[in-house]
């Protein structure tokens, strides 16, 4: 027959298990476990260590009378219990070589006896370790203490597992909300619609492969027309989006109706180089459109725009280079004039996510030749048709597979004034 005190303790554990099962907040749950464990075995002090497999360590989320402690998995008493899944009962701490008295020396506390047990979930994974110190009556922890604390640990492990699952789900939802907010902010930095400029027609499209990306395009008014800018930050995601927004802020702060494009990119480069990491860079191209069809171009390491000529239904071979932004602080950028665009002619700006789109399983890229062919076929229908045709062609090339990079496209069409 079960001893009266054991029966009473187990009944208490059953009552406590109901409370543990209904608590989904991890912090309050750990506090409850620690309180009940201390009372159950009449311990003076206790700590609860959560197992962090990603860092291969134990972390005290709650340690009565002490600050947060990090322990390598497999080292020390708690680390050994976590690694082996076997409890340790030490009647005299200072006689055991596994005991580290350093914490006692720091706090002035005297550890006499230790009972350390694992908390294993239904998959037999140790999710936590509980360590109780010093029975209040001065005796060491005995077999009864081990039995009742083990029963509590079994219930507590399942509750911790569930609470951590809930916490991870809440964190994932929080991150998803924050990423959506970041996406909305970034979308708000891009132009809603291209401007209406006499003699010109525009069509633009942009898509990030993550919630946020590093592609940027803009339309900035000038005295006689419009400046069109396109940029591509290395990588994608939050870091690229932050750098893109910084570049946009620099560009808009320094731009003016009569500011020289070469000077503009030279100053942008000097400012960005101060903030960019060594492994980060940004390609950028800007073109100034005049009322008479003239076009001036400045390129900072970006893929040269494609110039389609309606007269011969071909493309100009114009290759204007330049060093990427953020590489050297004293880089100078000079504008280059290109032959004027006539009605029906087009200039197409794009980021490398367009022509480098890869199709599994052989990961062949879409390529510039296919891009030229799509542009030429759709050009007679105008800028909007070219934009839609390129997007459809690249999406078709991906065949439902997710793109590996951000994609942005700006089509500039010269029309009769």
Q: Token pair of 320, please?
A: 């204007």
**204 to 37, 219, 405: CA distances (angstroms):** 64, 10, 17
- State the pLDDT at residue 317: 82
CB 285, CB 298: distance < 8 Å: yes
- State the pLDDT at residue 66: 53
Q: Where are the domains of the chain?
A: 4-166, 181-414
For residue 364, the tally of other CB atoms under 10 A from its CB is: 11
CATH topology (fold) of 181-414 = Phosphatase 2c; domain 1 (3.60.40)
For residue 408, the tally of other CB atoms under 10 A from its CB is: 24
Give tens-digit pLDDT for 389-399.
999 999 999 99
* DSSP annotation string for 121-141: -TTS-EEEEEEEEEETTSPPP
- State the pLDDT at residue 1: 37
Give the predicted TM-score (pTM) of the model.
0.66
- State the pLDDT at residue 334: 92
The beta strands (E) that lie in 80-190 are given as: 88-90, 114-120, 126-135
- State the pLDDT at residue 165: 82
Main-chain dihedrals φ then ψ at residue 389, nearest 5 degrees: -65, -40
Low-confidence spans in the chain with pLDDT less than 50: 1-4
- State the pLDDT at residue 160: 84
For residue 294, the tally of other CB atoms under 10 A from its CB is: 15
Could you give the CA distance from residue 183 to residue 331 in angstroms, rounded to a whole number? 32
Does domain 4-166 bear CATH number 3.30.450.40?
A: yes
Q: How many CA atoms lie within 13 Å of 82's alpha carbon, on the beta-carbon side?
A: 25
Could you give the CA distance from residue 8 to residue 210 in angstroms, rounded to a whole number? 57
- State the pLDDT at residue 61: 65
């Amino acid at each position: 027959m079960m001893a009266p005190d054991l029966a009473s303790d187990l009944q208490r554990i059953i009552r406590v298990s109901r409370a543990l099962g209904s608590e989904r907040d991890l912090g309050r749950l750990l506090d409850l476990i620690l309180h009940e464990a201390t009372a159950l075995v009449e311990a003076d002090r206790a700590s609860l260590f959560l197992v962090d497999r990603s860092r291969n360590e134990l972390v005290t989320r709650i340690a009565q009378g002490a600050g947060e402690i990090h322990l390598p998995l497999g080292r020390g008493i708690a680390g050994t219990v976590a690694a082996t899944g076997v409890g340790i009962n030490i009647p005299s701490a200072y006689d055991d070589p596994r005991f580290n008295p350093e914490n006692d020396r720091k706090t002035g506390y005297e550890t006499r006896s230790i009972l350390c047990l694992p908390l294993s979930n239904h998959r037999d994974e140790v999710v936590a370790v509980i360590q109780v110190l010093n029975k209040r009556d001065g005796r060491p922890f005995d077999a009864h203490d081990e039995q009742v604390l083990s029963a509590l640990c079994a219930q507590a492990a399942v509750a911790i597992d569930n609470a951590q699952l809930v916490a991870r789900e809440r964190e994932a939802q929080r991150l998803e909300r924050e990423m959506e907010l970041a996406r909305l902010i970034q979308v708000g930095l891009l132009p809603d619609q291209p401007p209406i400029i006499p003699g010109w027609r525009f069509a633009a499209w942009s898509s990030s492969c993550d919630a946020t990306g590093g592609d940027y395009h803009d339309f900035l008014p000038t005295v006689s027309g419009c400046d069109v800018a396109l940029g591509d930050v290395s990588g994608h995601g939050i870091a690229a989006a932050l750098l893109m927004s910084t570049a946009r802020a620099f560009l808009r702060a320094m731009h003016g109706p009569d500011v020289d494009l070469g000077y503009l990119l030279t100053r942008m480069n000097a400012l960005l180089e101060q903030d960019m990491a060594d492994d980060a860079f940004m390609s950028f191209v800007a073109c100034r459109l005049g009322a008479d069809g003239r076009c001036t171009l400045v390129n900072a390491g970006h893929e040269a725009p494609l110039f389609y000529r309606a007269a011969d239904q071909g493309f100009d071979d114009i290759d204007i280079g330049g060093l990427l932004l953020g590489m050297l602080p004293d880089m100078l950028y000079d504008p280059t004039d290109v032959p004027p665009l006539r009605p029906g002619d087009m200039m197409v700006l794009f980021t490398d996510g367009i022509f480098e789109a890869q199709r599994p399983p052989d990961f062949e890229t879409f390529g510039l030749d296919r891009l030229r062919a799509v542009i030429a076929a759709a050009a007679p229908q105008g800028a909007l048709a070219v934009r839609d045709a390129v997007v459809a062609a690249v999406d078709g090339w991906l065949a439902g597979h997710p793109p590996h990079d951000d994609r942005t496209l700006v089509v500039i069409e010269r029309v009769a004034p």
